[in-house]
């Protein structure tokens, strides 16, 4: 009798787990994409100095606007829900920070604004534009990271996340690859992803 009771208890525990697995298997996965490459150049305006602090706007294209950017950044090797194989696209953003920064105090600062991915043609995302809220944080002299949220219908609500490496240009002149001084502003930094960028 005791053995029968233990068997019934074990069966009662197993059945709900099986039901949960069946419900999960039929669920539609959330839209998401993973990109293996995220590269570009961050342009500072008016540029960063060694000790003379100033407010900065940041963008990763040379001209136009976010929606019509010239020479924007790029994402490549993107795969995920709704994407057949892999695809890529242009990734443009315009951001602003709060308060004045120097080459040393910019570390730890977050710049916030808007961005846009225009997916390549041909590709399964051809013709789709993904609008983003973008944050870029300069973590150290050689690292930065992206965060934010997707606003467009496709991928809406998913989070932008990715790490990047930057050259040590923000160090003072004479220290490593430093170019920071008061006479000439540091106006640009190249970035390359460190691991995948997801959204």
Q: What ranges do the domains of the chain cover?
A: 30-198
Per-residue pLDDT for 14 more than 80?
Answer: no
- pLDDT for the residue numbered 8: 33
Cα–Cα nearest to 197, from 113, 108, 71, 80: 80
- pLDDT for the residue numbered 96: 95
Tokens of 196: 């995948």
From 17-26, 119-128, 138-147, 158-167, the region with the lowest mean pLDDT = 17-26
Q: How many helices (H) and strands (E) does the chain have?
A: 1, 10
Give the tens place of pLDDT for each residue, 50-81.
Answer: 999 999 999 999 999 999 999 999 999 999 88
3 state DSSP class of 118:
strand
Per-residue pLDDT for 43 more than 50?
Answer: yes
- pLDDT for the residue numbered 156: 82
- Segments of the chain assigned E as strands: 33-48, 57-59, 73-80, 87-96, 110-119, 129-138, 143-150, 159-165, 186-193, 197-198
Q: What is the mean pLDDT of residues 128-140?
A: 96
Average confidence score pLDDT of the chain: 86
Q: What is the mean pLDDT of residues 174-196?
A: 97
């Amino acid at each position: 009798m005791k053995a029968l009771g233990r068997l019934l208890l074990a069966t009662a525990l197993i059945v709900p787990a099986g039901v949960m697995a069946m419900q999960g298997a039929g669920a539609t996965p959330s839209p998401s994409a993973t990109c293996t490459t995220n590269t570009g150049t961050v342009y500072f305006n008016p540029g960063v100095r060694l000790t003379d602090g100033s407010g900065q706007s940041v963008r990763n294209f040379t001209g136009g606007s976010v929606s019509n950017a010239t020479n924007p950044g790029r994402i490549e090797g993107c795969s995920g829900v709704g994407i057949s194989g892999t695809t890529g696209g242009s990734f443009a953003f315009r951001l602003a920070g709060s308060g004045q920064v120097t080459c040393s105090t910019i570390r730890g600062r977050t710049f916030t604004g808007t961005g846009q991915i225009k997916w390549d043609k041909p590709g399964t995302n051809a013709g789709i534009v993904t609008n983003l809220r973008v944050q870029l944080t300069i973590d150290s002299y050689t690292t930065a990271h992206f965060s934010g949220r997707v606003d467009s219908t496709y991928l809406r609500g998913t989070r932008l996340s990715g790490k990047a490496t930057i050259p040590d240009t923000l160090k003072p002149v004479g220290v490593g690859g430093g170019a920071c001084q008061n006479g000439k502003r540091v106006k640009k930094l190249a970035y390359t992803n460190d691991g995948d960028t997801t959204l």
